Amino acid sequence: MQKIYFLCTGNSCRSQMAEGYGCALLPRDQFEVKSAGIETHGLNPKAVAVMAEDGVDISQQTSDLIDATYFQEADLIITLCGDAKDKCPRIPLTATHLHWDLQDPAKAQGSEAEIMAAFRKTRDLVKAHVLELLNVTAEENCPSWKIPAPPF
């Protein structure tokens, strides 16, 4: 079973969306998916709403700090913002690290419609990235993420 860890600053939006799509789209018998933050900001209700629009319920997920044990055991660590990339612990040499530099929709300004559009844009980008992981899985019949990660 491959372990994927999605990391973001507050584990409230981007990483929560990624965990939701990871659990919904990746084969559960091949992947264990979790998310965490370098801080906890609580689950953002707008993230819950836009994910529900796409049929993925993340309402029961929790905003969690990085679990050191899961982090060390993860096969694939994906940071979703520069803050998490810069502040997360040193990536284990046994893990592969990917960085998806996504705008924080919680910082969007404007009308409610404009803010929700920012959440939907981030949601759609996260989904596309998770689907790319699925394509790798299909091509390699459960990928080996064991390529060396650069030391940080």
Q: What residue ranges do the domains of the chain occupy? A: 2-140
The residues that are catalytic are 8, 81, 88
pLDDT digits (tens, 9 = 90+) for 43-65: 999 999 999 999 999 999 999 99
pLDDT digits (tens, 9 = 90+) for 3-56: 999 999 899 999 999 999 999 999 999 999 999 998 999 999 999 999 999 999
Global confidence as pTM: 0.87
Report whether 99 contacts 74 (CB < 8 A): no
CATH architecture of 2-140: 3-Layer(aba) Sandwich (3.40)
